[in-house]
Structure 1
Amino acid sequence: MKLLKKNIAVFLLTLIAFVYVPQSIHAEEKLPINADAAILVEADTGKIIYEQNADKALGIASMTKMMTEYLLFEAIESGKVEWEQTYTPSEKVYTLSTAPGLSNVPLRPNEQYTVKELYEAMVIKSANGAAIAISEIVAGSEGEFVKMMNQKAKDLGLEHYQFVNSTGLSNYDMLGMYPKGTGVNDENLLSAQDTATLAYHLMKDFPEVLDTTSLPTKKFRQGTAEEMIMNNTNAMLKGRRYSYEGVDGLKTGTTPFAGSTFTGTAKRDGTRYITVVMDSKNELGQPSGADRFKQAADLFDYGFNHFTTVNFTLDDLDKKDNHSFPIAKGKEEQVKMQTKESIQLLLEKEAKDSIHVKIKMDENKLNEDGELQAPIKKGEKIGELFIENPKKSEYLMELTPEKERISIYAADSVEKANWFVLTTRAIGEFFEEVF
């Protein structure tokens, strides 16, 4: 009996060894992101690849300027503001643009600056005075601009937000000149997910923003007495200390309240990701400006190394049947199928072979035998190509998920056969069955 039990145990262990195959759990991995919140998003669809405490509203510091950029682009697009129009600094802008300890380019009274110069200073140098100047140009005052910021946040579907100024500064650092309608202790807040959503809309609606965010350096007021070199605050750009292949944006932020924050974007081989890191910490748990870039690199690595965009077409059907489908009472007995696009899915690289592609024909066009009924016109929709049992994914608020089904069209017209053709065909089928 003991020998029998021992043999059974050995058999079961052997069976388990053959049956059990460890499965990849990339989507559930805990990445080494030592920050209060983080998120990784595929930029074309808004598909969330990784998230960590992504729904909590936290300080965003100068990442606020992405909203200021968005509203400026809207004003340019509508014709309300022009790139070459000029602006003379208000007393508020002059004072804050020359205040010690704040990121700035000095904006002097009685000088005129173009909107383009102010925009570039805000984007590249994170110049706070330039951001306030833009708010005055667009809305007349920073207080009115703040109202526009919060309304736009609502329009874009953000859920956890509070905008109190155009810069991301803490209001108590604004030398008493914080916007009307806000309080001295108020702060700009967003969740990591909402920050990624804002970045998504900024790049989707105004992709030209990357022409500026991708510049490692640029001269401000070149050829004038005010000429100065502006180094981009994004240290992941080419040639910078934490350079990462494909990075071309987007915005850093640092204040005592928010800590070190960063919204980054990178594109490789046609795939673009958005990362957000909020209040990054080093290995000692201390706020760290460098670690926001290192952690963004970890997020990018995770996306680029483990995921790939896969196209699925009629060629991926289990039974291709020459891309054709039976048609009843037609001059031809088959109609060729075609699609105008492919199903594109961002998948873990090892998951591609587990995807099953199916077709579902339009039931209103089928007879009792499951055949299409002639006549069929070229270009007529006759069914759909779809992914069977797709893995459920999460997407940014209000965004359209990946297409998991696409339309199938008739590649050619098939006219209804006349009685002679149908009779001849029936006789032929009869004798085939007999013999």
Structure 2
Amino acid sequence: MAGSAGLALCGQTLVVRGGSRFLATSTASSDDNSLFVYDCNTAEKKSQENKGEDGPPFVPGSGAILASTFSESGRYFALTDDSKRLILFRTKPWQCLSVRAVVRRCTALTFTASEEKILVADKSGDVYSFSVSEPHGCGRLELGHLSMLLDVAVSPDDSFILTADRDEKIRVSWAAAPHSIESFCLGHTEFVSRIFVVPGYSELLLSSSGDGTLRLWEYRSGHQLYCCHLASLQELVEPCSQKRLAASRIAFWRREGCVALLCDCTPVVYIFQLDALGQQLRYRQRLSFQHCVWDVAFEEARGLWVLQDSREAPLVLCRPVDGHWQSVPESAVVQTVSGVLRGHWAMLAGCAGADAGFSGLYKATFDNMTSYLQKKEERLQQQREKRQRRQSPPPGPNGQTKGTRPGPAAWSC
């Protein structure tokens, strides 16, 4: 399994993952001492003391990283891999704190705002919490869905856990009592691929879906404030395009109030602007790149970092100039970090985007009505033919229909 490529930024610490490995470096320093490389295949394979709530054993896998995230302050970094492991790191300096087993393969994870817990969502629909201060503690089941979970988030005050599933639902649950549901954000008609609580707007949630929409919600009430059909933006550039769009990343830049949306691992990033009142999103620009874009992330001081499938130019930095977004030419920091990535390109070779598994999540559609109507017509035709045969009397010995009298020509001698 090649795994997926991903990008994460917190402060000036940048992490790029690919396959079973990730590397962390600083965007502020070219010193090699700032580089940290980790391979999940070197992590412990078995650990009796680090079992999850139900005591699941570690299972063989490729070690491919499935999801990763920073804590709010950047002090911690966590990831899950396809060997059903949750691995926790301290970032200053980088150090692996623990390797714990999870019950199912995970689809998403996040830290609570207090950085006391890691919430892990899995493909069976459950959310488990793991302690940060007790890095070897067992996991605790917090809540569950009846379908696969695709993303999890928390409110800025840790009061609510927000979950998105394959069955089009966004659920808002009380963290202190997850069985108590505050609201549902309903409106998507396909799986909800990403949810994102907007920094600085504690009541606002952004969501994307396989239905090709980006939506803005007041999540406590479940009220939808805005909906953009991405196909309408695609139509401006590719008329008659039938491509289905599901966002693999939603990123937000507090400094400019900008939202970046990456869809389907395409060479395109959509830029939106959130108004000052947080009531409306305005479409601003479509950024096109020469290569498939794997992931995007904002750095507050610089702008939008773009990770793309190109060994020569793996990273692109974009920022608005006179209101128009464009790549930053000949940037020393981009050259430095790109040079680091080129030296470790083997971990990215053959990688897919973060949304590589979305294609199997769409609802299957069947046109059984045409077949039903055709078979019904065949049955009716058979019934009509049977009635006609019953109503027509069988022929007599002379080839005449039984029950009829011979004509005058038959009476002649």
Which TM bucket (shorter chain)?
A: under 0.3
TM-score normalised by L of structure 2 = 0.23
Structure number with the bigger relative contact order (C-alpha 8 A, sep ≥ 6) is: 1
Structure with more of its chain in helix, by fraction: 1
TM-score (norm 1): 0.22
